[in-house]
């Protein structure tokens, strides 16, 4: 984690564990040199969901900062709602990225 943060990574993406979450790595790793987030995807289409989490997908939105604005991105977690037969936005995250 320290090496990735030191190399300039903002997000570390994963999904093999089928458990959706967003975590601030700096809060977990001592002496992390910069802000970095772990964005873990859930299970999009199969039945291998975990811990009662429904099928879900993440959408990451980023655009270059303008006029000296701070760097940021958003992660949207969309969970599948069986009653509506559709994915619905359930967990929006606004992430402040390192300068």
Q: Is this prediction's pTM over 0.95?
A: no
Residue among 65, 48, 64, 66 at smallest CA distance from 56: 48
Number of alpha carbons in the 13 Å side-chain half-sphere of residue 43: 14
Beta bridge partners of 57: 78
Quick check: 78 pLDDT over 80?
Answer: yes
- Inter-residue contact 19 to 38 (CB < 8 Å): no
**What's the whole-number average pLDDT of the chain?**
90
Task: Specify the 3-state DSSP secondary structure of 24.
Answer: strand
User: How much of the chain, in percent, has pLDDT values that exceed 90?
Assistant: 57
Quick check: 49 pLDDT over 90?
Answer: no
């Amino acid at each position: 984690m320290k090496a990735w943060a030191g190399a300039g990574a903002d997000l570390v993406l994963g999904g093999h564990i089928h458990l959706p979450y967003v975590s601030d790595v700096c809060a977990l790793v001592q002496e992390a040199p910069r802000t970095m987030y772990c964005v873990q995807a859930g299970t999009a289409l199969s039945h291998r969901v975990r811990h009662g989490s429904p099928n879900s997908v993440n959408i990451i939105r980023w655009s270059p900062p303008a006029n000296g604005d701070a760097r940021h991105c958003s992660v949207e977690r969309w969970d599948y709602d069986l009653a509506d037969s559709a994915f619905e936005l359930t967990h929006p995250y606004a992430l402040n990225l390192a300068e």
